[in-house]
A and B are shown apart, each in its own frame.
Chain A
Amino acid sequence: MKNKKEITVHIVLSLSCLIIAFPILFALLKSTQPPGQVMSARMLPGGYFLANVKNAWLHYNLDLYMLNSLKIALSIMFGKTFLSFFAAFALVFLNFKAKKVVFIFILITLMMPTEMLIIGLFDLISLSPPANLNEFFSWFVNPRNVLLSPVEYGFGWTDKSISVIVPFLASATGVFLFRQHFRNIPGSLLDASIIDGAGPFRFIYHILFPLSRSTVGALFVVQFIYAWNQYLWPRVIIRNDSAQVIQVGLKAIIGNAEGVEWGEVMAGTILSMIPPLIILLLLHDQFMKGVSVSDEK
C-alpha cells in the first residue's frame, strides 16, 4: 500500500520534471541540428551543436555579451556581498545612535526595484558630469537645483558596464540576510573574543566570516543570478552593442533579421544559461540553507 503511493508520487514528480524541463530540452535538442532540420518536426539530436555555437559566436556579438555579463554579474556578486556584510556587522555588533532609523532606511529600499526608477535614474547616469568642481558646487549649493528641478549633471556612464554595476552594489536583501544570521550567533562568542582582546576586524576574520559561509554562499547565488538576469536597465542605458549584456543581446539576435537562424539562437540561449546554472549547482546546499533562514521572518 505504502509502496504503491510512493510510486505514484515518483511518477507524478518525474512527469512534472519532464514537462518543466521540456522547453529547455527542446531548445537544447534543436541547437544540435543543422539549419535545415531545426524547423522540421525531427526530434533526434544531430552533431551540429558546436557548429551552431561557433556561428552564433561569429554572427552575433555573443562573446562580447557573455564577457560583459560575466564582468557585471561577478562585480555585483562580490561587491554586494562585501558591502552588505559590513553594513550588517555595524547594525548588529556596533553601538551607535539612530541604528533603527538606518535599518529602516535600508529596509525600505526592498520595495524600490530598479525597474520602477529607470526614468529618474536615466538622467542621473547618462547626463555628462560637470566640467569642474566649481561648476558642480555652484549647482550643488542651491537646494532648488538639487531637490526641486530635474537633475542637470550626471555621471556620463552611458554604454559603460559601470552603469549596470555601481547602482546595484548596495543591497537590502544582503543586509537583511546577514543581520538575521548575525543575530543568531551566540553572544558568548562575542564576549569571549572581546575578553581575549580581539578587535572587530580579528573577530570578523577569525570567527564571524568562517561562521557565515553558508549565508555568503546563498547570497552569491541570489546576487549572481539577479545580476546576470538584469534586463530593463541595461536595455535602456546601454545603446552600444559591444557593451551590451547577454540578456538584451538575445533580443538583438532575434530581432536582427527576418531569417532568424533558430538553431544558432537556441545555442546562444543555452550558452547564456550555463554560468548561473554553474553557480547554482556549486552553491546548492548553502543556497537552500540560506533560503530557510530568510523565510523565518
Chain B
Amino acid sequence: MVHRNRYKTKGLEILFLFPTLLILILFLYYPAWQSIILSFFRSNLFLGTRKFIGLENFQNLFIGPLAPAYYQSMIQTLVFSALVIFPGLLIGLCLANLSASLGKKGRIYRILLIWPYALSPAVAGTVFSFLFNPVTGAVNTLIGTFSSWQPRWLDNPFLAFLLVIIACIWKNIGYNFVFYLAALQNVPQIVYEAGKIDGAGIFKRFFRITLPLVGPVSYFLIFTNLSYTFFEAFGLIDLLTSGGPMGPAPFDNAGLTTLLIYKVFTDGFGGSSNMGFAAAQSVILMTMIGLITWIQFHYGEKKVHYGGE
C-alpha cells in the first residue's frame, strides 16, 4: 500500500534519520572503507607501524609461500558452507512441514523446536567440546562403557571437521525452522486436501506442493545461512577447535577448520598481528559477499516467485 497523503513537516526527516545514518556511516561504511585503505599498508597491531606497500598484501594472498594456506581456507569455507546449509535447510523444512501438518495439535512441537533459535555459537561450541572432549568428554565415556574405541574427535582432522559441521547445523535448526514454519503456516490446508483427493502421496505432495511454495523462503535462507557459515560460525569454531587440526596433505597449510573469518582473526590479532594482511582478506570477503548479493538480487528476482506485494 502506498500512502499518498504524507506529512510535510520540514526538517523532521533529518531528525528521524540522522542517528541511524550517522551510525551507519561511522561504524559500517567508514570501517569498510578503512579496511580497503589498510589493505594497502603493512600495519602492525601492537607496534602501531604503518607503511604503504601497494598491492603486496594481495600478492601474498594469492602468490608465494602464504598463498596455499589462503587457498585452503577458501576451499574449506566453501565446502563447509555447502555441508552446513543444505542439510540444515532440509532438516528445518522437514520439521516445519511435519509440525505444520498437525495444525493446532502441533503447537507443542513448535515451541520445542523454536528454542534453539536462542542458542549462541559459543554455547554450541562449549557444549560440544564437553560432549566430545577425547579424554574427559561425555561421548567417549559413554562409548567406553561398551567398547574400547576412543576416537580423538578434536584431533582427528576428518572427525573435527565433521563435528564442527554437525554443531553448526544443530545451532541453526531453530532459525531455519522458524522461517519455514512461518512460510508453511501461510499455506491453506485446502491445497494439501486437494492434493490428497487427487491421489498425490506424501512424497508427491512434498515435492509438488510444499517445495515450490517454500522456494522464496529457501532462497532467502540460503543467503542468511551463508552469512552464518561465513561469519557467525566463528564463535563455535573458536571454542571447539580453535581453527585446528592440521589436515593431511594437501590440506596441511592451515588448520582444517580455519575458515576465512578465522584466518582474518588469527592474522590480524594473533601472533603476527599483521592488520594490513588481515584487511586484504576482509576486502576479499567483502568482494565475495558483494558478488553473492548481486547474484541474489539480479538472478533471484526473476527466478523465484515472491508472495505478498
**What residues make up the interface of A, taking CB atoms closer than 8 Å to B?**
6, 9-10, 12-14, 16-17, 20-21, 23-24, 26-27, 30, 39-41, 83-84, 86-87, 89-96, 102, 105-106, 109, 111-113, 115-124, 147-151, 166-171, 175, 183-187, 190-191, 194, 199-200, 203, 225, 228-229, 231-232, 235-236, 247-248, 250-251, 254, 260, 262, 265-266, 269, 272-273, 276-277, 279-281, 284, 287-288, 291-292, 295-297
Query: B264 touching A119 by the CB < 8 A rule?
Result: yes
Taking the complex as formed, is B23 at the interface, i.e. its CB lies under 8 A from any CB of chain A? yes
In the assembled complex, which residues on chain B have CB atoms less than 8 Å from the CB atom of A187? Answer: 1-5
A228 to B178, CA, bound (A): 19
In the assembled complex, which residues on chain A have CB atoms less than 8 Å from the CB atom of B31? Answer: 117, 119-121, 124
Taking the complex as formed, is B289 at the interface, i.e. its CB lies under 8 A from any CB of chain A? yes
In the assembled complex, which residues on chain B have CB atoms less than 8 Å from the CB atom of A166? Answer: 23, 27
CB distance from A151 to the nearest CB of B (A): 6
In the assembled complex, which residues on chain A have CB atoms less than 8 Å from the CB atom of B128? Answer: 23
A17 to B109, CA, bound (A): 7
Query: B130 touching A265 by the CB < 8 A rule?
Result: yes
**Which stretch, B11-19, B64-72, B73-81, touches the partner chain A?**
B11-19
Interface residues of A, dominant DSSP: helix
Number of A-B contacts (CB under 8 A): 305
Taking the complex as formed, is B116 at the interface, i.e. its CB lies under 8 A from any CB of chain A? yes
Taking the complex as formed, is B272 at the interface, i.e. its CB lies under 8 A from any CB of chain A? no
Given contacts A39-B136, A90-B16, A183-B2, contact A6 B102 (CB under 8 A): yes
Residue in B112, B130, B179, B238 whose CB lies within 8 Å of A262: B130
Query: B136 touching A167 by the CB < 8 A rule?
Result: no
In the assembled complex, which residues on chain A have CB atoms less than 8 Å from the CB atom of B116? Answer: 20
Query: A120 touching B182 by the CB < 8 A rule?
Result: no
A113 to B286, CA, bound (A): 10
How many chain B residues touch the partner (CB < 8 A)?
110
Query: B182 touching A251 by the CB < 8 A rule?
Result: no
Query: A87 touching B20 by the CB < 8 A rule?
Result: yes
* Chain B residue nearest to A115 in the complex (CB): B231
**Which stretch, B148-156, B204-212, B243-251, B274-282, touches the partner chain A?**
B274-282
Given contacts A95-B7, A200-B12, contact A27 B127 (CB under 8 A): yes
Given contacts A87-B20, A296-B308, contact A231 B98 (CB under 8 A): no
Can you give 7 A-B contacts (C-beta < 8 A)? A6-B102, A23-B131, A102-B17, A120-B38, A123-B34, A185-B1, A236-B265
A40 to B137, CA, bound (A): 9
A282 to B24, CA, bound (A): 30
Query: B113 touching A17 by the CB < 8 A rule?
Result: yes
In the assembled complex, which residues on chain B have CB atoms less than 8 Å from the CB atom of A186? Answer: 1
CB distance from B295 to the nearest CB of A (A): 12
Taking the complex as formed, is B235 at the interface, i.e. its CB lies under 8 A from any CB of chain A? yes
Query: A90 touching B38 by the CB < 8 A rule?
Result: no
